[in-house]
C-alpha cells in the first residue's frame, strides 16, 4: 500500500469468498483511493454484492485481507455507512424514531444528527407516518439518511436505486455526488449505471469473482479473446 502520495482508503488483497460449492470471489486484489465515487458493475453472480458486503464487514472472507483506513472492516465500523435494496428500517416506526434507535448504536443520543441527516436527503424529520407506508423512493432516501447519520467517511450502497422512480434516483445520485465532493468515499453497486455517467469517478467491472477492468467512463472494457 502506497501511503505516501495517495493514501488508499480501502485496500483488498487476495480476497476469496466461497459459498459452499460456489466461489463468489476468486482472489480480488485492488486499491481504492479516498474521496472518490466508485461504481461496481457486472452480471449477476459476478461477485459485486459479495465484495461490497465483505468490505462493509458483513461477510467474512475465506482468504485474503481487507484494510479500511488501515483497519479491519469491523474495527472501522464508525467510518462505514451501509445501504442496500431492503430498507434496513423498522416499518412500524417513523423516520425519526428509526434513526433515533440506530443513532444509539453509534453512541449518539441527541436528535439533532438524526434530524440533520433526514433533512439532507430531502425529507421532513417531523413526519410521523410509519416508514412502512412510504413510497419506495422515500424509503430508500430514509435508508440513506440512516446510513449517513453518524457521518461516516465511506459509504457502501448495494443496489440503492432498485424499484425507485427516476426522479428519486436522480435526486439520490446528486446527493451522493455532493457527499463525495465533501470528501466521502462512495462505493455503489447497481444495474442502472446510466444514471451515474458523469457523476461517478470510476467504473469497476467485475466478472466471475474478479475485477476485470476499471474505466473512467461507462464504456465496457475490451473483451478478452
Residues pairing with 63 in the sheet: 16
Which residue, chain included where needed, has cell 451522493? 176
Spatial distance between the Cα atoms of 147 and 144, rounded to a whole number of angstroms: 5
E strand or H helix that includes residue 28: strand 22-33
Residue 107's CB is within 10 A of a number of other CB atoms, namely 8
User: Segment near another protein (CB under 8 A), from 4-12, 74-82, 115-123, 167-175?
Assistant: 74-82
Give the CA dihedral 8, 18, 88, 182, nearest 10 degrees: 10
Contact string (CB under 8 A) for another protein, positions 152-191, x = contact: ----------------------------------------
Question: Measured from the CB of residue 198, what is the shortest distance to another protein in angstroms?
Answer: 28
Total binding residues toward another protein, as defined by CB under 8 A: 43
Interaction of residue 68 with another protein, rule CB under 8 A: no
Which residue, chain included where needed, has cell 455503489? 188
70, 218 Cβ separation under 8 angstroms: no
User: Segment near another protein (CB under 8 A), from 16-24, 118-126, 183-191, 197-205?
Assistant: 16-24
Interaction of residue 42 with another protein, rule CB under 8 A: no
173, 195 Cβ separation under 8 angstroms: yes
203, 216 Cβ separation under 8 angstroms: yes
Residue in 40, 49, 47 with CA at minimum distance from that of residue 200: 40
Residues 75-94 that bind another protein (CB under 8 A): 77-78, 80, 82, 84, 86-93
Interaction of residue 57 with another protein, rule CB under 8 A: yes
User: Which of 2, 5, 21, 219 forms a contact with another protein (CB under 8 A)?
Assistant: 21
Question: Measured from the CB of residue 43, what is the shortest distance to another protein in angstroms?
Answer: 8
User: Which of 208, 213, 214, 218 forms a contact with another protein (CB under 8 A)?
Assistant: 208
Which lies closer to another protein via its Cβ, residue 2 or residue 110? Answer: 110
User: Which of 7, 64, 101, 193 forms a contact with another protein (CB under 8 A)?
Assistant: 101
CA angle 36, 41, 42 (to 5 degrees): 155
Task: Report the interface residues with another protein, using CB under 8 A.
Answer: 18-23, 26, 43, 45, 53, 56-60, 62, 77-78, 80, 82, 84, 86-93, 97, 101-102, 104-107, 109, 146, 207-209, 223-224
Amino acid at each position: 500500500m502506497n501511503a505516501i502520495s495517495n493514501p488508499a482508503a480501502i485496500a483488498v488483497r487476495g480476497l476469496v469468498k466461497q459459498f459452499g460449492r460456489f466461489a463468489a470471489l476468486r482472489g480480488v486484489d485492488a486499491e481504492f483511493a479516498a474521496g472518490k465515487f466508485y461504481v461496481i458493475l457486472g452480471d449477476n453472480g459476478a461477485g459485486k454484492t459479495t465484495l461490497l458486503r465483505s468490505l462493509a464487514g458483513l461477510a467474512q472472507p475465506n482468504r485474503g485481507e481487507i484494510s479500511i483506513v488501515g483497519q479491519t472492516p469491523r474495527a472501522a465500523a464508525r467510518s462505514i455507512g451501509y445501504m442496500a435494496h431492503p430498507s434496513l428500517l423498522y416499518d412500524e416506526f417513523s423516520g425519526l424514531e428509526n434513526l433515533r434507535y440506530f443513532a444509539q448504536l453509534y453512541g449518539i443520543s441527541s436528535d439533532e444528527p438524526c434530524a440533520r441527516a433526514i433533512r439532507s436527503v430531502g425529507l421532513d424529520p417531523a413526519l410521523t407516518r410509519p416508514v412502512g407506508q412510504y413510497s419506495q423512493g422515500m424509503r430508500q432516501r430514509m435508508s440513506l439518511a440512516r446510513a449517513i447519520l453518524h457521518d461516516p467517511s465511506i459509504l457502501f450502497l448495494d443496489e440503492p436505486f432498485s424499484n425507485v422512480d427516476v426522479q428519486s434516483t436522480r435526486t439520490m445520485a446528486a446527493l451522493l455526488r455532493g457527499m463525495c465532493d465533501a470528501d466521502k468515499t462512495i462505493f455503489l453497486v447497481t444495474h442502472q449505471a446510466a444514471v451515474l455517467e458523469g457523476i461517478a469517478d470510476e467504473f469497476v467491472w467485475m466478472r466471475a469473482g474478479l475485477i476485470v477492468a476499471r474505466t473512467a467512463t461507462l464504456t465496457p472494457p475490451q473483451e478478452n479473446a
